[in-house]
Structure 1
Amino acid sequence: MAKQRRGGAAGNVGVLSRAVFGSPEGVVTPGGRGTRRFVRLLPALMIVGGLLFDSQAPPNFTAVPLFVAAPLIAAPFFSLSRTVRTGIAAVLSVLAMRFIDGTSTQVVPVIEFITVLTASVLALVINAVVRRSNEQLASARVIAETAMRAVLPTPTERIGGLQVAARYEAAQADEFVGGDLFAVADTPYGVRLVVGDVRGKGLEAVEAVAVIIGAFREAAEQERSLEGVAQRLERALAREGTRRYGLDAMEGFITAVLAEIPPGAGALRVVNRGHPEPILLHADGELEVLAPSVPAMPLGMDLGVWPDRADTWTMPAGSTLLAFTDGLSEARDANGAFYDPAARLRGRIFPGPEELLSALTDDVRLHTGGRSTDDMALLAVGRPAEGQPVRRTTVKIVGRGDGAER
């Protein structure tokens, strides 16, 4: 195929680029600002590069692959209108180059034109499929968030005269379905709470969370002892296992810590079933790690009868109980070092539970560099100091680095 090269074609590159990519509207690329900018410009760069290559290369070379790639690259990331403009620009570029070199009626240029046109039409189909999938994914996320909030409702900011704050930190942005759980209840025996972690992810984990939360709310009102509450949770999991024709003991277990704060006594009772040890922070910055006197197995591990034993601690005015899942204590930095909440919190003083959780989530995000790999549930319950007003709190569900208020 003979071509007559003309430098005038390259002079139209700037006009073409501005006509096709005049605004960032419709770009749906993830990542940082630099990544989004590069993807937004990539189809234009392909067309501009194709024009420059075709105007300068020897006659037996062609830039058609670049013109074919431009609309296909735009399809999954751009709006329909921008994908259409990209396809039109690619087709017109091929036509312009062949009219300029006088070969527009030859067989090979016609095939090139048909190829680019076909790729542009295919790009529109891809764009429609991707947008439909994005809509379905967005709908699924809304359903998942609604389901999770129904299963794991936000505790009120004041329960039984105590200050309460809770967070659910998802490892992935916009992820709401997980196996971490927390609940707080004001009962005739004091304020009772549970924080737990179901092994596994997805809807099966949410089902187990629903079982535990439902059983806890009922048992917390009826059982006279915290040990009795733990046994009710155990029986609830056993019934669920029977209904589902038997859960594998190594697949269905749940680590959990239960606590009870009786009214006015300054006491704190804790039952720990294989869960990370909670922390009691005092008003002067000192803290205690509430290690169980007798280690116990997680809930749902059918390995024999293990009597529960509640340990009693003193919870004076101005102190705060912090319970969390292993998404906090097993968060790693770039060197693989685990996050140590006790060491990071020792000596620090916080006005209330909400400020404690805000500082804690910021610190663990700094520790991991935003690379968390597990969900994290946090629950802080504070006994106000004498004369201290109870402050209003805000609960958030966030992903890695960003979030939405609840």
Structure 2
Amino acid sequence: MRRLQLLPVVLLVGGALIDYHTPPHFSGEAFYTAAPMTAAALLSLPATILAGIGACAIDFALLTHFGFIGKSGGESELAAVATVSAFAIVVNRLMYYSNVRLQSARRVALAVQRAVLPQPPESIGALRIAVRYQAAMKEAQIGGDLYSAQDTPYGVRCLVGDVRGKGVEAVKVVAVAMGVFREAAEEESTLVGVAARLERALLRERERRAGPERTEGFVTGVLVEIPRCGNELRLVNRGHPAPLLLHAGRVRSAEPSEPALPLGLAELGADQERTDTVPFPPGATLLLYTDGLTEARNRAGDFYDPGAGLTGRDFPGPDALLDTLLTEVSRHTDGRITDDTALLAVTRG
């Protein structure tokens, strides 16, 4: 970025040298007009004004040197450089106020994210917890993915989900699901009961919608319960990508025993009350994620495979695991993010 900030100076000096060392009929006007406009985009208001003054001064000096001042064309060229320089100041101010509004919107979006998706504790008992949220639109900060982890009378309960839909309506569903989960996780004795509470809330939310929006608003999700005693955990998977269990360099996919419909669609299918129990020994890490991770593509169209990328590797904790994942996905996609990604990792100490 600092090198780019020197570009107006390079344009002025380069234009002056080319103008001076070429025949008189050749003009460096293009360089002199480009310099203040470049400064408007890259630098502050004082620097933009200085670039404009410098452009006018250099152009006037060289026009005088070649005897064009007072002759046809000299004053018009100088007037053009001065006009562009003045316009560059206006552009600089417009960009400044636009950036102020953008920063304000980002702060609001970040506040919304913290309110709807609060940061879970870093540890609960022997469990270490880490989360990451990467929105497809950086300005948005929040989208249709959700996560939560909280201590309850029944152990640590977690939720990772993905709302079907985009924009403000998806954020509304996230807010509803998170509110219901926080309450139900404390009160319901089973994960099936928590899922049922979420189901009813999402159905009520869908009934409030009209038109095509009523077909959206369902949530794929995984509910997790890690009891205080024992070396197992319980899972309820409602149409979501299967969690991964990492232990001693091995990666295992915790596939559901039977497929189930997403939350908010249970009325379309049979009994959805299925809870799976899987081993979760000390030193193991549970990785929950949304499909933004597994559907990240490279330029050849190949999906990222977290299982293959994590096999044979050990991580000192959940934070290191999630940071590595985001780095590898960014490398895999060349930094192109097309979908929101929520990650939650829990390591048993």
2:277 is equivalent to residue 312 of structure 1: yes
Task: Say if 2:12 and 2:35, in contact at 8 Å, map to a contact too.
Answer: yes
**Corresponding position of 1:294:** 258
Distance 1:65 1:340, change over 3 A: closer
2:5 is equivalent to residue 40 of structure 1: yes
Q: Helix, strand or coil: the match of 1:272?
A: strand
Task: Say if 1:215 and 1:236, in contact at 8 Å, map to a contact too.
Answer: yes
Q: Helix, strand or coil: the match of 2:235?
A: strand
**Corresponding position of 1:323:** 288
2:98 is equivalent to residue 133 of structure 1: yes
* Residue identity in the other structure for 1:125: V
The CA deviation at 1:302 is: 7.2
**Corresponding position of 1:73:** 38
Q: Summarize deviations over 1:90-148 as a string: whole Å, max 9, x none.
A: 11122112222233123422222222211111111111111111111111111111111
Equivalent residue runs for 1:382-393 within 5 Å: 382-384=347-349
In 2, the alpha carbon distance for the partners of 1:322 and 1:342 equals: 11
Task: Say if 1:223 and 1:229, in contact at 8 Å, map to a contact too.
Answer: yes
Q: Helix, strand or coil: the match of 1:191?
A: strand
Distance 1:102 1:342, change over 3 A: closer
Q: Helix, strand or coil: the match of 1:322?
A: strand
Distance 1:289 1:116, change over 3 A: same
Specify which of 197, 206, 209 is matched with residue 232 of structure 1.
197
**Corresponding position of 1:85:** 50
The gaps in structure 2 that reach 5 residues or longer are none
Task: Say if 2:185 and 2:194, in contact at 8 Å, map to a contact too.
Answer: yes
Specify which of 327, 339, 348 is matched with residue 313 of structure 2.
348
**Corresponding position of 2:298:** 333
2:139 is equivalent to residue 207 of structure 1: no
How many residues in Structure 1 have an aligned counterpart in Structure 2? 348
Equivalent residue runs for 1:123-202 within 5 Å: 123-159=88-124, 161-171=126-136, 176-202=141-167
**Corresponding position of 1:13:** none
The CA deviation at 1:172 is: 5.7
The CA deviation at 1:278 is: 0.2
**Corresponding position of 1:389:** none
2:327 is equivalent to residue 362 of structure 1: yes
Task: Say if 1:249 and 1:302, in contact at 8 Å, map to a contact too.
Answer: no
Distance 1:109 1:276, change over 3 A: same
Task: Say if 1:160 and 1:190, in contact at 8 Å, map to a contact too.
Answer: no
Task: Say if 2:156 and 2:227, in contact at 8 Å, map to a contact too.
Answer: yes
Q: Helix, strand or coil: the match of 2:38?
A: helix
Q: Helix, strand or coil: the match of 1:248?
A: helix
**Corresponding position of 1:96:** 61
In 2, the alpha carbon distance for the partners of 1:339 and 1:162 equals: 28
In 2, the alpha carbon distance for the partners of 1:110 and 1:180 equals: 61
Specify which of 221, 230, 249 is matched with residue 186 of structure 2.
221
Task: Say if 1:249 and 1:301, in contact at 8 Å, map to a contact too.
Answer: no
Distance 1:42 1:210, change over 3 A: same
Task: Say which is worse superposed, 102-111 or 319-328, in terms of deviation.
Answer: 102-111
The gaps in structure 1 that reach 5 residues or longer are 1-32, 385-406
Task: Say if 2:261 and 2:269, in contact at 8 Å, map to a contact too.
Answer: no
In 1, the alpha carbon distance for the partners of 2:95 and 2:312 equals: 52
Instruction: Name the structure with the higher helix share.
Output: 2
In 1, the alpha carbon distance for the partners of 2:77 and 2:313 equals: 69
Task: Say if 1:250 and 1:301, in contact at 8 Å, map to a contact too.
Answer: no
Q: Summarize deviations over 1:274-328 as a string: whole Å, max 9, x none.
A: 211001223x333321111221222234761442212222323332221111122
Q: Summarize deviations over 1:157-210 as a string: whole Å, max 9, x none.
A: 222542222222344656522222110122222221100112344433322211
In 1, the alpha carbon distance for the partners of 2:123 and 2:62 equals: 72
* Residue identity in the other structure for 2:262: P
Specify which of 72, 77, 85 is matched with residue 120 of structure 1.
85
2:280 is equivalent to residue 280 of structure 1: no
Give the TM-score taking structure 2 as reference length. Answer: 0.89
Among all aligned residue pairs of Structure 1 and Structure 2, give the percentage whose two residues are the same amino acid.
51
In 2, the alpha carbon distance for the partners of 1:339 and 1:66 equals: 46
In 2, the alpha carbon distance for the partners of 1:100 and 1:241 equals: 76
Task: Say which is worse superposed, 135-144 or 333-342, in terms of deviation.
Answer: 333-342
Distance 1:244 1:78, change over 3 A: same
Task: Say if 1:241 and 1:247, in contact at 8 Å, map to a contact too.
Answer: no
Q: Helix, strand or coil: the match of 1:258?
A: strand
In 1, the alpha carbon distance for the partners of 2:312 and 2:184 equals: 37
Distance 1:299 1:92, change over 3 A: same
